[in-house]
Amino acid sequence: MTKRKRIILAAFVVLAGGAAAGAAYRAFWPTAAASSLTLYGNVDIREVNAAFNDSGRIESLLVQEGDAVRQGELIAQLDDRRFADALAAANAQAANQKQVLAALLAGSRPEQIAQAKAQMDALAIVYRNDEANYQRYATLALSGAGTLQQRDDAEAAFLNAERNYEAAKQAYILAVKGPRAEDIAAAQAAYDAAQASAALAAQEYQDTKLYAPAAGIVEERVQEPGDMTSPATPVYVIALTNPLWVRAYVPESDLGHVKLGMAAEITTDSYPGKVYHGWIGYLSPTAEFTPKNVETPDLRAQLVYQVRVYACAPQGQLRLGMPATVTIDLAQHDRQGAARGGGGCGGDGAGT
């Protein structure tokens, strides 16, 4: 073979190898010139564990697996008898403290003031009389007409009457002035504490009812009537059907073609020919190796980035874990500025 032929043959081999490599690359990874990007993933949703805010025995469960629930709908009930008793006791204590405070704020009654004055006046008469007796017996003792014992007895009666009169006088003064400001403040604090205890008891009584924390579908009924439960133990697992998205993975080589807010189309094997419109609402900032459960013809050793394609109005047809195909038109205008909460859906972006 001549040198010229060897050069031509080598060039042909290089060109053929390059063409084959280019064809293989285009078969696995869409290029910038490709009109669309196809991704494979699974339908994903969020879940919430619904549990009581207090511990107790479950009295009734009002929904079953598969039932649709509205946010705020009553779905379970605890035995509330001990909570009702605690609430009644707390309300009674608050009512008692309220009356104590009201009595202090009202001050002394006119009748109490009059009674205190009458008592003071009566003791004043006794005091003056015993004082006069003591003076007489003291004079008689000096002249020998009276004994020292009589004088001492009269003096003791006089001093006792004086103290009784002073006590009645101070009681009358207090009745006129009314309660001290410190006593009123203490009664007010006691009443406030009783009210807080009553409010807590009312909240604990209300917590015997379990309401759906969000709209969704009951995925699992974890406990049954008669079970003891606590805030750490879920009673229901509720699948949140809004928002709903397809979790897919974008190869690193195509990352530059995908932008937040870009419109996408979702199809499934369950509803052939049915196309669900959606939009890219999340693009992971970190890379990972292709998960084993991703249904894609790309090489599994390639680095990929998780993407969430939110579905618009799936009408209950897209279910958790369902395999789905996502097609993104790469020729569409860049929608980087589209709002993450509604890009591509013309509304909330994730209707049920």
The CATH number of whichever domain residue 57 belongs to comes to: 2.40.50.100
Question: How much of the chain is in helix, strand and coil states, percent to nearest 5?
Answer: 40, 25, 35
How far apart (Å, rounded) are the C-alpha atoms in residues 269 and 323?
8
Looking at the structure, do residues 93 and 192 belong to the same domain, yes or no?
yes
265, 327 contact by CB (below 8 A): yes
Looking at the structure, do residues 166 and 105 belong to the same domain, yes or no?
yes
How far apart (Å, rounded) are the C-alpha atoms in residues 158 and 126?
9
Q: Which of 203, 237, 271 is the last residue of a domain?
A: 203
Residue 63 lies in a domain: yes
Question: Which of 216, 215, 244 is closest to 318 using CA atoms?
Answer: 244
SS3 track for 275-310: CEEEEEEEECCCCEECCCCCCCCCCCCCEEEEEEEE
When divided into structural domains, the chain yields a total of: 2
Looking at the structure, do residues 223 and 163 belong to the same domain, yes or no?
no
30: Cβ contacts below 8 Å, ≥ 6 apart: 36, 37, 38, 254, 257, 330
Looking at the structure, do residues 98 and 161 belong to the same domain, yes or no?
yes
User: Which pLDDT value is given to residue 24?
Assistant: 38
Looking at the structure, do residues 53 and 129 belong to the same domain, yes or no?
no
Looking at the structure, do residues 160 and 65 belong to the same domain, yes or no?
no
Residue 270 lies in a domain: no
Looking at the structure, do residues 99 and 156 belong to the same domain, yes or no?
yes
161, 82 contact by CB (below 8 A): no
| Threshold 0.85, pTM exceeds | no
Residue 130 lies in a domain: yes
Residue 26 lies in a domain: no
Residue 150 lies in a domain: yes
DSSP 8-class letter at 83: H
Looking at the structure, do residues 112 and 214 belong to the same domain, yes or no?
no
Give buried/exposed letters for 147-174 (b at 16+ CB in 10 A, else e). eeebbeebbebbeebbebbeebbebbee
User: Which pLDDT value is given to residue 12?
Assistant: 44
Give buried/exposed letters for 316-345 (b at 16+ CB in 10 A, else e). eebeeebebbbebebeeeebeebeeebbbb
Burial class (CB in 10 A: 0-12, 13-18, 19+), 40: middle
Residue with tokens 């203490």: 186
Residue 332 lies in a domain: no
Residue 99, φ and ψ in degrees, nearest 5: -70, -35
Residue 235 lies in a domain: no
User: Which pLDDT value is given to residue 54?
Assistant: 94
Q: Which of 169, 203, 237 is the last residue of a domain?
A: 203
Range of the domain at 70: 49-78+207-229
Peptide bond into 213 cis (omega under 30): no
Looking at the structure, do residues 182 and 223 belong to the same domain, yes or no?
no
Looking at the structure, do residues 54 and 199 belong to the same domain, yes or no?
no
What are the structure tokens assigned to 82, written together?
């001990």
Per-residue pLDDT of the chain (352 residues; tens, 9 = 90+): 554 545 444 444 444 444 444 443 443 344 444 688 999 999 998 899 999 999 999 999 999 999 999 999 999 999 999 999 999 999 999 999 999 999 888 887 888 888 888 888 888 888 888 888 888 888 887 877 778 888 888 889 889 988 998 898 888 887 777 788 888 899 999 999 999 999 999 999 999 999 999 999 999 999 999 999 999 999 999 998 888 899 999 988 888 888 999 999 999 998 888 999 999 999 988 877 766 555 555 554 467 889 999 988 667 788 888 899 999 998 875 444 443 444 555 544 444 3
Looking at the structure, do residues 174 and 143 belong to the same domain, yes or no?
yes
135: Cβ contacts below 8 Å, ≥ 6 apart: none
Q: What is the distance of C-alpha 146 from the center of its chain?
A: 89
Residue 61 lies in a domain: yes
Q: Which of 137, 168, 203 is the last residue of a domain?
A: 203
Q: Where are any strands of DSSP class E within 62-211?
A: 68-69, 74-78, 209-211
Looking at the structure, do residues 104 and 199 belong to the same domain, yes or no?
yes
Question: Which of 168, 166, 161, 63 is closest to 115 using CA atoms?
Answer: 168
How far apart (Å, rounded) are the C-alpha atoms in residues 278 and 246?
9
